A and B are shown apart, each in its own frame.
Chain A
Amino acid sequence: MSEKKTAGPGRRTMLKGTAALAGTALGSGAIGGFPTIWGQTTKNITLRQFGTGVSNINEIADKCKADLGITLQMTALDSDAVVQRAVTQPNSYDIADIEYWMVKKVFPANVLQAMDVKKIKYFDKIVPIFTTGKLKPDSVVAQGTAPSTVGFVEGAGSTKFAKGQTGWFTMIPTIYNADTLGIRPDLVGRKIDSWKDMLDPKFKGKTSILNIPSIGIMDAAMICESAGIVKYGDKGNMTKAEIDKTIDFLIKTKKEGQFRAFWKTFDESVNLMASGEVIIQSMWSPAVTAVRSKGVPCIYQPLKEGYRAWGGGLGLAKHLSGDKLAAAYDYINWYMSGWVGAFLNRQGYYSAVLETAKANMSEDEWGYWMEGKPAKGEIKSPKGVVMEKPGAVRDGGSFYDRMGAVSCWNAVMDEDRYMVQKWNSFIAA
């Protein structure tokens, strides 16, 4: 298996990585005394990590233990609980695996510490979405809480987001994707190519959006904008009037019985789709895979208005210091060294450092997942389950097709408090 094959090189690059790290750590005076071999400082260290289910994966913890000797204790929670825990219980974790829209709420609460980019080995290789905001030099930064806008703070102890790049990273990006609508091709009975198709009276009582305000409002905005109901200055930072119009429209649609349900967890969205309760809904990519793996046809439909993107990363708790902090940097550098990246790519997400992930994937896998090419052989999930047969092509095409068509990012707006109240009124209406 490719995993076995890559274990060796993965470890070697890691050794090199830590040697470089030890050097910088010594240089910056983070570790007092004589530098020791990396394994000894990290061997008995336990890092408590928590985050959403997408990336809190036991296989990663096992591999981390094998490669670095660091024990990772993972806790997976839903998005809202993650924000709550990050802000209200900062001593209960060492690593916060959170999303960029959450950073906008969590970082100003002064519970995380900024990261010194000098200690991040692959910093220069990170996909530029996270550093400059532009995938390609000519791309436009999408609306919403784009990761680059909350990616840097002004200095070591600062909680103020910097406009451009500084030496202090709020989070290490690890995982991201471009979301769109999931559909049941066997039941919709027509071509779906726009967010406004959600409003087709033919689908009355058979649609769903998600009930996580920061994400749901962006889905709603994509629908409203494509249907010409609301014209936004910036979907990711709406004015009160724009919020009012969006929510009023949602309430009207809800009263007319367009929606079947509003989901909050991954499993709910899978069940809604697999059972045929809904046939078109906002969805997450692995949820689409989960529906398909039940033998039910499901497509992650690219739409002409583009995608709603999200990104997650690893943040360091404020209280980390000494050996634990060093171990956390070790862990982060290991995370980006390729094995995890390949694992995430094989789940249908994207990894932040493409180069190292590519080295850990077969050519066919890379072609299928990242380049939009038809699979030559069987495509397997990270756990070894066959997901696609030869000839299959990924929905939405290549990495650049998908990430290049991002229209907005999940967002926390300036009018957040107002938006949440209005969102509640929509759910309560």
Chain B
Amino acid sequence: MSVRSPNWVPYLQVAPLSLVFLVFLVVPILTIVVVSFFDYDSTRLLPDFVLTNYEELLSSSITWRTYGQTLEFALITWICTLLIGFTVAYFLAFHVRSTAWQTVLFLVCTIPFWTSNIIRMISWIPFLGRNGVLNTALQGAGVIDRPLEFLLFSDFAVVLAYVHLYTLFMVVPIFNSMMRIDRSLIEAAHDAGASGRQILWNVIIPLCKPGIAIGSIFVVTIVMGDFVTVRLMSGGQSASVGLMMINAMSLLQYPAAAANAVVLLILVLMTVALMIRVVDIRREL
């Protein structure tokens, strides 16, 4: 009996997934690219091939500043979530001894995800406000004599919300990588006379790289595309690329938004490519 199947069978096997990708990913993205070259007036899209959308976008100093601001948010958020996420994962993986407790504490980390993102974000507003919980408490304790204004509707508030919302995206993959580390490696390092710091730096962190990379991709891509957090937490005072797009779309300037989306997509793809260059996720998994 021959086990050889006809040549076309593998193609048939990948067909369903390819089709899904084609319909839900490739076609929409191509549409966006096409629309980004359209012209428009205040109500209509005018099919055409013009470069004005890109010219207007790239020649504006506002665009560059907004991209700079978005990258800044992404960078600060990435650093904060990485530090916190790594510490939490480390604690769960190496300090909590029993598997049962590990599972329980890990689930505790996910509890915030039972409520929506926006609710969790909005709950900061009464806390941080001028007459909010924090300011009232600090004033009551005599630490400050006038309310701290920078707490709400500021870049600080935006980053705070990001870190609060997205740290878990760091914790999960890093924890996952840590749990796969062969404990005998750590023992061996210890026996060879390595200090705790050396073990962390030379053994654990290198072995956690795939987790860190995956977590970073999550956090950076989410932050770069976000618009709700920036708008709510900055009170509309700060801008992000996503917000620029929403503004354009809400005024029916779809081609302008599409051009911006294409530029952002290229930027994010480049960032991800860079991360994958540093860590070969495929090999490490």
- A-side interface residues toward B, CB under 8 Å? 80-81, 83-84, 87-88, 105-106, 108-109, 205, 208, 211, 213, 254, 259-264, 271-272, 275-277, 412, 416-417, 420-421, 423-425, 427-429
Contacts and interface: CB of A to CB of B under 8 A. Distances in A.
B210 to A, nearest CB: 36
B244 interface: yes
B83 to A, nearest CB: 29
A420 B41 CA distance: 12
Contacts of A262: 235-237
A84 B125 contact: no
Most chain A CB within 10 A, of B149, B152, B248, B252, is at B252
A323 B69 CA distance: 55
A277 B249 contact: no
A261 B248 contact: no
B153 A261 contact: yes
Interface string B208-236: 00000000000000000000000100111
Contacts of A87: 43-44, 252
Contacts of B131: 275-276
A271 B251 CA distance: 25
A211 B253 CA distance: 16
A106 B43 CA distance: 7
A423 B62 CA distance: 11
Given A109-B44, A277-B130, A417-B253, A261 B62 contact: no
B219 to A, nearest CB: 23
* Interface residues of A, dominant DSSP: helix
A275 B129 contact: yes
A416 B251 CA distance: 10
Given A259-B237, A424-B248, A427-B247, 13 more contacts: A81-B250, A87-B43, A109-B44, A213-B251, A254-B237, A275-B130, A276-B130, A277-B130, A420-B251, A425-B62, A427-B239, A429-B62, A429-B239
Contacts of A259: 237
Interface in B240-260: 243-244, 247-253
B42 A416 contact: yes
B72 interface: no
Interface string B71-114: 00000000000000000000000000000000000000000000
Interface residues of B, number: 33
A55 B253 CA distance: 27
Given A105-B42, A263-B236, A421-B56, A277 B129 contact: yes
A145 B55 CA distance: 31
B60 interface: yes
Contacts of B247: 420, 423-424, 427
Contacts of A428: 62, 65-66, 239, 243-244
Interface string B23-67: 000000000000000000111100000000000100010100110
Contact of A277 (B43, B153, B239, B244): B153
A298 to B, nearest CB: 15
A84 B251 CA distance: 7
A260 B235 contact: yes
A261 B125 CA distance: 12
A419 to B, nearest CB: 9
B206 interface: no
Contacts of A272: 235
B126 interface: yes
The interface centre, meaning the residue of B125, B249, B251 with most chain A CB atoms within 10 A of its CB, is B251
Nearest to A419: B251
A137 B122 CA distance: 50
A271 B123 CA distance: 13
A259 B238 CA distance: 12
Contacts of A254: 237
Contacts of A205: 149
A417 B42 contact: yes
A128 B243 CA distance: 40
A88 to B, nearest CB: 8
A105 B234 CA distance: 30
10 contacts: A80-B251, A87-B44, A87-B252, A259-B237, A261-B234, A417-B41, A424-B248, A428-B65, A428-B243, A429-B239
Contact of B243 (A88, A208, A427): A427
Task: Specify which of B56, B125, B132, B250 lies most central, judged by the most chain A CB atoms within 10 Å of its CB.
Answer: B250
A208 B249 CA distance: 23
Nearest to B152: A277
Contacts of B66: 428
A257 B126 CA distance: 21
